[in-house]
Each structure stands twice: as structure tokens, then as C-alpha cells.
Amino acid sequence: MSNLLIKNGTVIDPAEGIDGKLDIRISDGLISEIAQNLTGDEEVFDAEGMTVIPGMIDVHVHFREPGNEGSETIATGCASAVAGGFTSVATMPNTYPTTDSEPAISFIRLQAQKAGLCNVYPVGAITKGRKGVELAEMGSMVRGGAVAFSDDGIAVESAGVLRHAMEYSAMLDKPIMEHCEEPTLAGKGVMHEGDVSTALGLPGIPAEAEEAIVSRDIMLAGLTGARLHIQHVSTTGSIDQIRFAKKQGLNVTAEVCPHHLLLTDDRVKGYNSFFKMNPPLRPERDRLSCVAALKDGTIDMVASDHAPHSAEAKQIEFSYAAFGAIGLESTIAVLLTELVDKEIMTLSELLPRLTTAPAALLGIDKGRLKVGGDADIAIIDLNHKWKIEPELFASKSKNCPFSGMECKGKNIATIVGGKVVYGR
């Protein structure tokens, strides 16, 4: 554990009511003091001109290990996370083999410990092999350290199977995280079904494919009392249903990705496969709905859905390219540039969507700058101007939809458990 004194920064944590020029003392990996004009014999981190925030938490990442280490490993994924200011991440179970057992959960945790960079919280599969037929051993996975359950990449097709999964998850007090897409409606679609897909001659995925499963899952959450988390929301109709569910008092949360907040299906007109993701980019109406829902709290948090792919899988004909985009190293920069700098949201409004809301979902005591709490901290420069160049990223994969974007705002340093793991 490290002893460190962060001095001269502007410290912001809405959850703790902190916003001002303060110093932070770190002792044995914990925050021991937050005050003005602190002195001591610790190593000093001079944060003059910087903004000090709680380490961010991403509830939806793919680190590909085991099974596809050529695209990402847990170690390179963790390096990517801390480069972006994320101190904790939740890894999805669509690995090969599937993360659907206690030994598989333990493997993820062991590899993360070896990497020694950020906190990694494995999400276990809902069903064995993500086949949607037989429930995985949910209780033993929780014993091994699973924080949630998901068949991410596909929805659980059987409502009966999902009902039983929700009943078990309610007993375990862990959320079900659903990729909401009705497979027979999505078919072989490769982008949003609409005017652009028609003009390009590409098969589309209608908004209703997402909305049908959102509706079903909300009803099952009401039936079972389970905690339901809806992943990567992308349509106005989904948001309307989530808003209604919350008004009814159901335990439903939702996330949105930066690409659905900031990009539309118009980007596909150049057949650039970096803009091929699932759910697909939607029209401007849906993008604006996502932004408004994030601002008003209908959508609880931002998640990157960091989905690394090799050049061989991504840089091919659009129809055959893999779905997904990396995002850990670009998320805070594009949000600061397009939401905060343009005064759509303040930094104080945005931060809980990246810290306390994800922490509450995962049930972890993170995302705050509080005395006695873990010293997981990001130090950002709100005025730093730079261009996103994925070839310089720590991630093994380079499929970033924001490649070439000029940004204002960047993560400068990341501290996890009192140790500077990125920056300086």
C-alpha cells in the first residue's frame, strides 16, 4: 500500500458534497484526510490545474480472456481501463469457455490480481454456455466473486428460464443484466433498420427488436421482484418503458454507451465497420432521447461496452465485420467534449453516472472520495486538447468509433488503492 499526498487540485465528488481546492492524503491505500493546505512527508502528487474525481466504474466491458486473447487480455484490458480513468470494471461472461462456473469466476479474479492495475468484478453467465436452456450455478458463482449475471451478447430467449433466473438472483441480491434483442426480429441485420439501411442496401435491425425484450424483462422484474439492469439502451421506446417502470417502483436500472449518446446511423454511410455495433447506432431522435434520459436520470449510468476485435475481424466488408467498439480510453474524453464542454450536462451531473450509480449496481463500496474509503482516484485535465489516436491505446484492439476526434479533456493519472497505476 502507498502513502501519497495529492496537492493543489480541484476536488469534485457530488456524492460527498465536495467541490473545491483541496488536498487528499492517502495512507495505506485509503483516503485518510481531505482538507486544505495539507503537509507531510509522503510522496507528493502535484495536481495543480487538474480536477481530482473518484475513480470511474465501468459495468460493461469485454476482456476476451479466456479464449480470444489476440483481441484483448485481462492485463491489457486493465491497462486500457486505467488509461481512461477507470479504477473498477465488470467483465462480461461471453468468453470461450463461457464464464459460467465458480472456477471460471476465480480465473478472472486471479488474472486481474496478477495484472495489478484495476479492480475487476466478474459477471457470471445466466445460463450454461449462454445457451438459454439450463441455469448456470448462480450461487457458487457468487461465492467465487460474481457481482451480477448476464448472457451478454444475447437475450435469454425463454421467458420461463429468465423468470427462474430472476427468482434466484433476487434471493442472492444480484442484478440480472440483459442484452435486450429479440433474435427473430433482429434476424441477420447489421445496422439500424431505417432510411439509411434502405439507401445502403444493408439488412436492418428494427428498434422494436430491443423494445420487445425490454418490455418482457420489465414485466418479469415486476413478477419476481428481481433487480433488472438493461444494457446499452439505444431507442426512444426503450427509454419510455424504463421511465414507466421506475414510476411503478420497479427495481430497474439502465446504461447507455458513449456511441449511442453521440453518434447516429448516418455514420454507416461510408461502410466503416468501426461504426458497426450491437445494438446499432440509431437515428438522431433516439440519440437525443438517450442524452435527455441520461440527464434526467431515467438512464442511470454510462458504460463503454468495451468490445475489442482484431483487425482481421473488424476491418473487412461491413456485412461480415464483427459487432462492437472499444471505449475505455475514449469515454471520459468524448463525454467531457460533447456533453460537459457544450454545457449539455455539468461535470457534477455527469460524475454520478460514472461512479456512484455503477457502484450501487455492482454492490461495491467504490465511487466516492471519502475518508476511510479506498483511494481509487482519477485526475483529469478539463482543458487538455488532444486527438484520439487508437494506435496509441493500451488496448490490443484499435476499433474505436471516435478515432481522429479532437477532444477537450483527458485523464492524466489514475490511482488504485493508493498506487499510481497510470500517469506521472
Active site residues: 305
Give the cell for residue 250: 420497479
Q: 23-50 burial, b for 16+ CB within 10 Å, e for fewer?
A: bbbbbebbbbebeeebeeebeebebeeb
Closest by Cα among 135, 206, 209, 210 to 176:
135
**Nearest 5 degrees, angle CA 145-CA 350-CA 344?**
150
| Residue pair 345/339 in contact by the 8 Å Cβ criterion | yes
154: left (phi over 0), alpha (psi -120 to 50) or beta: beta
DSSP-assigned beta bridge partners for residue 381: 410
Q: At what angle do helices 284-296 and 236-247 cross, to 10 degrees?
A: 30
Torsion angle (degrees, nearest 10) of CA 166, 167, 173, 179 = 0
DSSP string, 82-119: HHTTEEEEEE-S-SSS-S-SHHHHHHHHHHHHHHTSSE
| Residue pair 401/48 in contact by the 8 Å Cβ criterion | no
CA distances in angstroms from 227 to 43, 143, 217, 286, listed in the order given: 43, 19, 11, 25
| Residue pair 175/361 in contact by the 8 Å Cβ criterion | yes
- Name every residue whose Cβ is closer than 8 Å to that of residue 322 and which is 6 or more positions away in sequence: 273, 276, 309, 313, 314
- Name every residue whose Cβ is closer than 8 Å to that of residue 240 and which is 6 or more positions away in sequence: none
CA distances in angstroms from 92 to 38, 209, 341, 368, 404, listed in the order given: 41, 22, 32, 24, 28
